[in-house]
Structure 1
Amino acid sequence: MPVVFFFYLLFAVSLLQAQSPERVYRSGIRSVKLFKAGDQSASPVLFLGQPDQLELHFDDLDASIKQYYYTLQLCNADWTAAQLPAFDYLKGFITQRIQHYRASSGVQTRYMHYQALLPERNSGPTRGGNYLLKVFLNDDTAQLVFTRRLVVVNKRVAVSAQVLQPFNGNLFLTHQRLSIGVTPQQMPMNAFSPQEIKVVITQNDQWIRARTLDRPTIYRGNFYEYSDEEQTLFAAGQEWRWFDLRSIRLRGDRVQKIIDSDTSARTDIFIQPDTERAGQLYLFYRDLNGKYLIENIDQAQPHTQGEYGWVHFSLRPAGGRRYGGKDVFVTGEWSGFELTDEYKMDFDANLGLYTKAIYLKQGFYNYGYLTRSQTTADPTLSFENTEGNYWATENEYSVFVYFRPFGARADELIGYTRVRSGFQR
């Protein structure tokens, strides 16, 4: 019996070691949201020793009841799988079944809505770090359905951050830089060496464009400063575009028209055509920094009574001409910031427009247009052509501090802070 149990553990660990990017693997899965319980706009961050939980929501358009399970995979700072068995960083059951589900009602689109609070009682992470949430079918990790990122902080350092304008005169009006300070708490002098600390910065929770800092600019005693402009520089972008799809009976803000078919369950929603904003006058307004909210003013229950429809996006480039050597994607939290064919726009030469139709649920959405080079070996991502950059744009930066002592097999997340750019206008 002990031998059988050992091989079972070995098999379970080997399955969890397979690293997957954050994405949806089955086309019938829609509206995946992972956030701090009670706040759809909050990032999925947990602190060890605190009772906070995360909410997971998603829809299955197959509309039949399925046995969905989830687990957590510990990852390093670069999101590669940590070389640790699951029992070294999880307590309780390694996999948990998602037990709460409900069929859609009062809408034409049939789907099954699933939701879960995690971690569940007497289970969950036992060490700080990056975690990949994996949802799969029938308690079989080989039947992966989708993955999402979350972080767990074991707070051992104080982190301060400030958003500033660059010194470089060529970037002064288009970029933002950060100055970061890290101070160990209740620890002896020189508790960490500079080589053991790694800092990662994300802008508006876009891990695909994260910056990693391996060395401090200055360190003295127990204080580490990261202020090198070349390492902490971000293109400022502009405020995110938006549309209000909380109702399909009435046209919401920036909705041009709604076509509800009389012969089928199809609904088409056309967003007002967009143009390039690069070089235009900057306009400040409150946005969600790329996030979206599942909300509904037509029905009482947004998660189970929200309708789906084909949302049509269109972007007119300068002169109605295609961007040479670049692909254009429509992006936001609702797409998982994925750069796949599902979100890649097609160019209509007759109309001089980039167009794309995407199947979305009722709610309030932020979105933007992103370009990616087709030619370089390491494709660069940019909002420069489509959105432009302005230094005073309100962005939200997350700063993660990782610790990995000599001989350790995984990075531990020991510090975290969040800061908004708040320049005088």
Structure 2
Amino acid sequence: MFRKKIVLLFMILSFQMFAQKVNEVAPPYYIKSVSINTGAESVYPMFRLGDYFNIEFDDLMAQSSNYFYKIKHCNADWTPSNLQITEYLGGFNDMQILNFQNSFNTLQSFTHYKLTLPNSNTRFLISGNYIIEVLDDDGDIMFSRKVIVYQEEVGVGVTINRTRNNATIDSKQNVAITIDYNAEAYNNPKENFKIAIMQNGRFDTSITNVPPQYTIGSQFIYNYDTETQFFGGNEFLYFDNSNITQVNNNIAKITSTDIYNSYLYPLPPRGLRQYSYYEDLNGTFLPRNKFRNDAATEADYAWVYFNLPTEEYVGKDVYVVGMVDNYLLTDRNKLEYDASEKAYKKAILLKQGFTSYLFSLVDSKTKKIDFQDSIDGNFYQTENDYQVIVYYRGIIDRSDRVIGFGAAKSLNITN
């Protein structure tokens, strides 16, 4: 009996050691405008346990295909947890998405799908990291998205400061954190608490595995400098083609073929310019047709032509990123260099409305984003949103729970 327990323990430890992190799957070319939202506008994918949110997308094949969803629970490091489905979900998994409608009065036909969670068939039982997969009739994953479901058992205070390093004081922002907890409720919290820090809801740039710098009573203090720094970046670029036939401050020209074409004004790199504040939406997108009521089915699609005039970056690629493409680096949002015009260009099929985005410089070999030499520069004044997630796993727990959530804006940055 003792030997069987040893073997079982070894198997569990081996699974945890060699489990692969789950990455998000980018959708195929005909699945567009994937959005996690609580209304029309996309939001950061972090929700209080019991709160409702939607996952919406368009299928340009417009054949009213059958799609299904699966939900998987993950640990703090996004490896699959050991939990059975019935331990983290109430109801059913692998259910069909039944809420869909065909587009109306648009040049580009599509079918719009909407999944609301929790629903009458599926509800989250516990907090934690989740991967939500959307599959087709054959069981192939069309795309997947990470979502964090949290509880507020501990208090999480977040402030954004300028760094204390003269070399980065004008380009980086530092996140200071205070966690208030009930010492009697948690076993060895200094070892069993974990945090994740995110800028503008991005999983790809999150900072993890930072221990408390020190403890005061039942408070953990994270008042580091370099360990919790982010490059400030610059304000997001944006355009609004809610009136798809009209030019504006960001759209230079409109043409029409089978569908509309929106040509954006050329935007040279802003890195050498002085910082200029303007209110933006930090990467979000909002489908909208100025003359229709239901953007889900009545907002059309247009080819949007991006233009970045600059010398070619040797050994680097340029991508257009934002929540509209989930910050994933794919060929569909990779710009091509036009040597004759000395500009990076790309036409991307996007749903009509308000879209904010960035140009990202990416190493051609490693596929890592070069934040230090950002195309549009780094400024400590840039308005960014920060989120802090607190995880806990007790001695007998088999997964990480999310027990705290905090947020702050760098608009109120302090010295």
Residue matched to 2:29: 27
CA distance in 2, matches of 1:268, 1:244: 13
Contact 1:201 1:212 in 2 (8 A): yes
Q: CA deviation at 1:20?
A: 4.6
TM-superposition CA deviations, 1:124-180 (whole Å, max 9, x none): 111111111111123x5x311111121111222110010000000111111100110
Identity %: 30
Residue matched to 2:244: 248
3-state SS of paired residue (1:83)? coil
Residue matched to 2:259: 266
Gaps of 5+ in 2: 1-18
Question: Residues 128 and 161 of structure 1: is their aligned pair in 2 closer, same or farther, counting only changes over 3 Å?
Answer: same
Aligned residue among 323, 344, 347 for 1:354: 344
Contact 1:204 1:396 in 2 (8 A): yes
Contact 2:40 2:286 in 1 (8 A): no
Residue matched to 2:151: 154
Question: Residues 375 and 147 of structure 1: is their aligned pair in 2 closer, same or farther, counting only changes over 3 Å?
Answer: closer
Residue matched to 1:5: none
Contact 1:244 1:253 in 2 (8 A): no
Residue matched to 1:301: 294
3-state SS of paired residue (1:87)? helix
Q: CA deviation at 1:104?
A: 0.8
What number of residue pairs does the alignment pair up? Answer: 396
Residue matched to 1:332: 322
Residue matched to 1:45: 46
CA distance in 1, matches of 2:72, 2:393: 18
TM-superposition CA deviations, 1:11-49 (whole Å, max 9, x none): xxxxxx9965223332210001012x236243232222x
Aligned residue identity for 2:295? P
CA distance in 1, matches of 2:214, 2:281: 34
Question: Residues 403 and 189 of structure 1: is their aligned pair in 2 closer, same or farther, counting only changes over 3 Å?
Answer: closer
Q: CA deviation at 1:379?
A: 2.9
CA distance in 1, matches of 2:22, 2:109: 29
Q: CA deviation at 1:342?
A: 1.2
1:207 equivalent in alignment to 2:206: no
1:283 equivalent in alignment to 2:276: yes
CA distance in 2, matches of 1:25, 1:249: 28
Give the CA RMSD over aligned residues: 2.0
1:179 equivalent in alignment to 2:173: no
Aligned residue identity for 2:46? V
Aligned residue among 334, 345, 356 for 2:335: 345
Q: CA deviation at 1:268?
A: 1.6
Contact 1:128 1:152 in 2 (8 A): yes
Question: Residues 110 and 26 of structure 1: is their aligned pair in 2 closer, same or farther, counting only changes over 3 Å?
Answer: same
Contact 1:190 1:222 in 2 (8 A): no
Contact 1:191 1:222 in 2 (8 A): no
Contact 1:213 1:231 in 2 (8 A): no
Residue matched to 1:404: 393
Contact 1:329 1:344 in 2 (8 A): yes
Q: CA deviation at 1:123?
A: 2.9
CA distance in 1, matches of 2:244, 2:146: 31
Residue matched to 1:384: 373
1:65 equivalent in alignment to 2:75: no
Contact 1:22 1:149 in 2 (8 A): yes
Residue matched to 2:9: none
3-state SS of paired residue (2:184)? coil
Q: CA deviation at 1:233?
A: 0.3
Aligned residue identity for 1:137? D
CA distance in 2, matches of 1:254, 1:220: 51
Aligned residue identity for 2:140? Q
What's the TM-score once normalised by structure 1's chain length? 0.88
Aligned residue identity for 1:347? Y
3-state SS of paired residue (1:342)? helix
Question: Residues 383 and 334 of structure 1: is their aligned pair in 2 closer, same or farther, counting only changes over 3 Å?
Answer: farther
Aligned residue identity for 2:398? R
Residue matched to 1:113: 112
TM-superposition CA deviations, 1:95-122 (whole Å, max 9, x none): 2321111111111111111112111036
Contact 1:240 1:288 in 2 (8 A): yes
TM-superposition CA deviations, 1:268-298 (whole Å, max 9, x none): 2111101011121111111000111111103
Q: CA deviation at 1:190?
A: 6.6
Gaps of 5+ in 1: 1-16
CA distance in 1, matches of 2:368, 2:56: 32
Contact 1:197 1:214 in 2 (8 A): no
3-state SS of paired residue (1:274)? coil
What's the TM-score once normalised by structure 2's chain length? 0.90
Return 120-129 or 358-367, whichever deviates more. Answer: 120-129
Return 304-313 or 294-303, whichever deviates more. Answer: 294-303
Aligned residue identity for 2:273? Q
CA distance in 2, matches of 1:190, 1:63: 51
Q: CA deviation at 1:86?
A: 1.2
Q: CA deviation at 1:68?
A: 1.3
Aligned residue identity for 2:147? L
Contact 1:20 1:147 in 2 (8 A): no
Question: Residues 39 and 216 of structure 1: is their aligned pair in 2 closer, same or farther, counting only changes over 3 Å?
Answer: farther
CA distance in 1, matches of 2:324, 2:230: 22
